[in-house]
């Protein structure tokens, strides 16, 4: 009888373990919501350090916005995104605010922007209040605002074009 009870308990344990494992591997039903199209990046040419910055930044697309955020799991704000990307892609530590980032980077004309450079905007009453990472082909990636997600925009966007304050670089080849 003891052997029979032990086998029953073992069988029960195996069945429970199997059902837990099967539950963990079940797939989520597909969403009926169409995926948001990502702007074409076909014309972007990137190499060197700029490539590392761009690739890391693109991996953060659709990350939630969080004011003061520096952690992709909790959310990122614009300068938190830039800090995280530069730290992890190049090992470069940057100051916390967009304005402080602008003060440590070298100005570069819009025509000479290269992938990985920083682009700055005046979105509040103070200069250099928003920052993004230039991707090339007139596009940049940024953490936009509350209730937003990290996304790609055009410098020609009707909101950002009139607020563009300039590009800055931290790259040695610019």
* Residues recognised as catalytic: 78, 130, 142
The dihedral through the CA atoms of 167, 170, 171, 173 has a sign that is positive
Q: Residue 67 in contact with residue 97, Cβ under 8 Å?
A: no
Four-CA torsion 37, 41, 42, 43, nearest 10 degrees: 140
> Burial, 132: exposed, middle or buried (Cβ in 10 Å; 0-12, 13-18, 19+)?
buried
d(CA 55, CA 98): 21
Neighbours of 40 (CB within 10 A): 10
Pairing of strands 75-76, 70-71: antiparallel
How many angstroms separate the Cα of 51 from the Cα of each of 136, 137, 159? Answer: 11, 14, 27
């Amino acid at each position: 009888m003891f052997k029979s009870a032990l086998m029953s308990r073992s069988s029960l344990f195996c069945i429970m373990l199997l059902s837990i494992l099967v539950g963990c591997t079940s797939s989520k039903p597909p969403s009926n919501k169409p995926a948001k199209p990502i702007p074409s990046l076909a014309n972007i040419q990137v190499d060197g350090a700029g490539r590392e910055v761009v690739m890391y930044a693109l991996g953060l697309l659709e990350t939630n916005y969080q004011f003061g955020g520096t952690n992709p799991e909790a959310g990122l704000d614009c300068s938190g995104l830039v800090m995280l990307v530069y730290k992890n892609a190049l090992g470069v530590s940057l100051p916390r605010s967009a304005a402080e980032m602008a003060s440590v980077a070298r100005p570069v004309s819009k025509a000479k922007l290269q992938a990985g450079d920083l682009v700055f905007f005046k979105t509040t009453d103070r200069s250099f209040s928003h920052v993004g990472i230039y991707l090339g082909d007139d596009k940049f990636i940024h953490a936009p605002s509350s209730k937003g997600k990290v996304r790609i925009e055009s410098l020609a966007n009707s909101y950002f074009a009139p607020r563009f304050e300039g590009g800055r670089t931290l790259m040695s080849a610019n």
